[in-house]
Amino acid sequence: MKKREIKDLLKKDKEIKRTLAKAKTTIKTILYECEDMNKVSKALMNVLNVKPVVREIGGEKYLVAEAAGYEYVYRIFNHFRMRRVLATLRKYLYKYLDRDRGIITMYLHKQAAYAGVLSLVDPGESPLGDIIVTIETENPDEVIKWLTRF
């Protein structure tokens, strides 16, 4: 790699990190009466490491956690980086990307998250409900490319 290319990459990294510093990450999942709230809370903490709160949305109980900043987004993507599934992740994120609103959405398997593994599912695929992760950012396409690069 040439010196100029390295400089360009470092500049791009700084821009993306500035964008992610303003990013808002939200995770939520439905809380069924048959579920242990502490176990569902642990599953969400394994994803974002932020204590969730109970909220009523549309007459249903949800556990919700919100955070802002680069470190929370990177924490989520680092799980996938360690498992070496970045190409799959990139394809998946583009499938559920809302460019107009600047929202990256992913659905995670609740039971796998409880075990500390982030496993992607399609909406409705997880038997106890999905963990819905949304990341609001100014430039979602560039963020996805940056976070899922090899």
96-135: per-residue pLDDT in tens?
A: 999 999 999 999 999 999 999 999 999 989 888 999 999 9
The CATH number assigned to the domain holding 101 equals: 3.30.1440.10
Q: For residue 25, what are its two tokens?
A: 């990450």
Question: Coil, helix or strand for 13?
Answer: helix
- The predicted structure's pLDDT at residue 115: 95
Q: Which uninterrupted H or E stretch holds 86? A: helix 86-95
Q: Would you state the pLDDT for residue 16? A: 87
Q: What gap in Å lies between CA 125 and CA 123, rounded to an integer?
A: 6
Number of domains in the chain: 1
Cα(23)–Cα(116) distance, rounded to whole angstroms? 23
Q: Whose CA is closest to 25, among 118, 141, 137? A: 137
Question: How many Å apart are CA 64 and CA 81, to the nearest integer?
Answer: 25
What confidence score (pLDDT) does residue 42 get? 97
Residues of the chain falling short of pLDDT 50: none
Range of the domain at 97: 3-147
